[in-house]
Amino acid sequence: MNNPLIELRGINLSRNERLIISNMTFCIHASSVLNIYGHNGSGKTTLLKILTGLTEPTSGQIINNINQHNAFSYMGHKYGIKNNLTLIENLLYGNNENFDDQNKIDGVIEMYNMNKYKNDLVKNLSHGQQKKISLMKANISTSKVWILDEPYSALDNDAIKIVDQSIYDHIKNDGAVIMSNHEPITKKPFDIKNLELINE
């Protein structure tokens, strides 16, 4: 098997003398999907933030073998979108790659069935519609690894199918996806590995 895109070795994180992440070790390879699941407070979001570099572990090593700028596209609970910009402005200007491929933007708006909202301010859109915009930003990015915190929450069945297709297309192009959920994920159009976090 090829070298992993990312490798975690013995990652630990403590806060206020409480161990949140304990001896976490795993690899992420191209064309793979990892679902990190567990109950609230088990450390799922914290682990995703460690992967993105937003949180520094107490100890352990993260090896990043992705030799490119903007290797990660991260969708957290706050989505990373601007409320006072429109949908299309968020895709044009809210992307730190200064993305300007209008055909790709039009395509992803069409894919997520958001054409009639493209000139609406984000603050006037529903929670689920805002999540779609954040997911669309991952779609138009050149990031090798998508890191998605609970990507299926607040989405209806049709939107979930769109997300699944997006993930399928991404990993077919040698990308990888790391997501979090409350439960193991099965019955998807792609292979997925489930990793349970247990905070004792």
Q: What is the pLDDT of residues 145-173, one digit of tens each?
A: 999 999 999 899 999 999 999 999 999 99
d(CA 58, CA 62): 12
Dump pLDDT digits (tens) for 97-133: 545 678 889 999 999 999 999 999 999 999 999 999 9
199 has a pLDDT exceeding 80: no
Contacts of 194 (CB under 8 A, 6+ apart): 35, 37, 184, 185, 186
**Strand 176-181 with 32-37, pairing:** parallel
d(CA 13, CA 42): 12
**What pTM did the predictor assign?**
0.91
**Strand 145-149 with 32-37, pairing:** unpaired
Q: Are 114 and 156 in contact (CB under 8 A)?
A: no
Which architecture does CATH list for 6-196? 3-Layer(aba) Sandwich (3.40)
Q: What is the pLDDT of residue 83?
A: 92
94 has a pLDDT exceeding 60: no
The string of DSSP codes covering 62-88 is: EEE---STT-EEEE-TTTT--TTSBHH
Q: What is the pLDDT of residue 102?
A: 81
Contacts of 19 (CB under 8 A, 6+ apart): 12, 13
More confident residue, 52 or 33: 33
Q: Are 38 and 196 in contact (CB under 8 A)?
A: yes
